[in-house]
Amino acid sequence: MAVKVKIPVPLQRLTQGKEEVEGDAGTIISLINNLDQKYPGLGERISEAGKLRRFVNVYVNEEDVRFLKNEETIVKDGDEISIVPAIAGGIHRNA
Amino acid sequence: MGFVHGLKCRECGREYPVDPIYVCEFCFGPLEVVYDYEGIKKVLAKERIASRPHNLWRYKELLPIDGEPTSGLNSGFTPLVKANKLAKIVGVKELYIKDDTVTHPTLSFKDRVVAVALSKAREFGFDTVACASTGNLAHSVSAHGAADGFKRFIFIPASLEKSKIVASLVYEPNLIAVDGNYDDVNRLCSEVANKYRWAFVNINIRPFYAEGSKTQGYEIAEQLGWKAPDAVVVPSASGSLLTKIWKSFKEMKQIGLIDKLNTRVFSAQATGCSPIVTAIKAGVDVIKPVKPDTIAKSLAIGNPADGFYATRVVKESGGFGEDVSDQEIIDAIKLLARTEGIFAETAGGVTLASAIKLIKGGYIKQDDLTVLCITGNGLKTKEAIMGQTGEPYHIKPNLKSFEEVLKKINEK
């Protein structure tokens, strides 16, 4: 069993269209770095210099990690991670 | 005209062309309008502004439109009232009320942002305007949209005060009352905005819309004789108004309309919904969302979009924040009415009550030239003070009956 990670629509292009991927137990930041190995480019969209980006919310079992231990929050197998942009999607004129 | 370079992410700095977009595609940060201040400085002198009509478009070079404005041509330039009686009571030498209770046409500062949003929506070629609102914005989009000939979809929390609902319906928009609080309405509107090609003033037009709030700051400085105040107290819902008033002062300094800027910016919230002030008091910039529970419904945003930036402005300027109870809000509404003859909505009560605490706490000093931003009219939220005012004297239609009452009044 691994950690389940839900990927928001704007980032699914980087996960070959997958809505959910599997990650490794450990800290949130190590999980993100490991995912970046598998899905290059994912890491820099979610974090910068080892810190979560301000307008990306990360939830562990529906709890915002900002109220846990931020990027150092420990996740274990079976946990569910959601990555959610704080402001949902933009609109383009021609969209 | 047209001094806008483009849009820029406030977080990672990536640049975008002028479009109805509001989120950075890369890091999801909010987008902000970038201006050519050197160009503006060359054309916008005090005399030029002073020669123009008394509305918010007298600062049009500092607003994000390309052509001439098409909306809100009578909005803005509200009175800056010198509040001498109130100043004595609260304990500062010089106190002013920026009185947006009389903004044309819907009696709140939202007429400023909507004037800009709808002018921009016209430039983008939209035929439908929409918003998520706690009330004041709903009125303003309904009214301006009617005058400007837009189709209108207005989303409000179903629990809003009846008087606020009627004040939207009279303009005959499509009014959608959503079961849920403002944050629920906002979330729904993000989904609707992604699906329909409408100008949601506070979603996909937000970078432009929010700039309209700067006009309150420009006016304060112009009305003080081209200087910024020492202290300004701003009610905070999303936190946007506070950040834009600060931005307006900085821009005026940059282009030489004011000489110096020593303003401290203070945030005012209701205790029942104070995520920004809680962060300020704790000295952190992480905003913990709350479930609002306050009579100040126009400020009841539990997850404020600009909360982080508001805390940063407060810190940068050396200000602070205060929060106040529902009873303190009501007492302040009544105090403002009986001293200065201004009937503010609940947000105005929040601002004055918070200012009183900030003065008592020594955060605002006795000799600080202080401005209170009063952003909406009390006639919109009469329910909030029902049963909290005095009663009329009931008499028979004859002189004797009147004089009996008069005697009692004189004995009081």
The domains of chain A, with CATH numbers, are: 3-85 (3.10.20.30)
What pTM value is reported for the model? 0.94
Q: Cα distance from A60 to chain B (closest Cα, Å)?
A: 16
Q: What is the CATH number of the domain that holds B301?
A: 3.40.50.1100
Q: How does pLDDT run across B348-382, given as a tens digit for each residue? A: 999 999 999 999 999 999 999 999 999 999 998 88
**Mind telling me how many Å the CA of A50 is from chain B's nearest CA?**
14
- Which pLDDT belongs to residue A90? 35
- With an 8 Å Cβ cutoff, is A17 touching chain B? no
Residue A81 three-state SS: strand
The percent helix, strand, coil of chain B (3-state, each to 5) is: 45, 15, 40
Residue-wise pLDDT tens digits, A36-53: 999 999 999 999 999 999
Residue that is written with structure tokens 């800290």 in the block: A27
Cβ proximity of B295 and B348 under 8 Å: no
Total domain count for chain B? 1
Domain holding B87, by residue range, is 80-104+217-385
User: What is d(CA B144, CA B131) in angstroms, rounded to the nearest whole number?
Assistant: 12
Of B108, B97, B116, nearest to B134 (Cα)?
B108
Class of residue B134 by CB neighbours under 10 A (exposed 0-12, middle 13-18, buried 19+): buried
Among A53, A55, A64, the residue to mutate for chain B (most B Cβ within 10 A): A55
- Flag if A93 and B124 touch (Cβ within 8 Å): yes
Residue B97 domain-assigned (yes or no): yes
Q: Is B334 exposed, middle or buried (0-12, 13-18, 19+ CB in 10 A)?
A: middle
Please indicate, yes or no, if residue B160 is contained in any of the structural domains. no
Q: Which of A86, A90, A93 sits opposite B25 (nearest CB)?
A: A90
Instruction: Give every residue of chain B whose pLDDT is below 50, as ranges.
Output: none
Assigned domain for B71 exists? no
Which of B19, B27, B193 faces A55 most closely, judged by CB atoms?
B27
Please report whether residue B333 resides in a domain.
yes
A9 min Cα distance to partner chain B (Å):
12
Instruction: Supply the pLDDT for residue A89.
Output: 39
Q: B286 at the A interface (CB within 8 A)?
A: yes
Q: Measured between beta carbons, which residues in chain B are less than 8 angstroms from residue A56?
A: 27-28
Q: Is B196 on the interface with A (CB under 8 A)?
A: no
Contact B288 A87 (CB under 8 A): no
Q: Contact A87/B21, CB-based, under 8 Å? A: no
Whether ipTM tops 0.90, in short, is: no
Which regions of chain A are under pLDDT 50?
A: 89-95
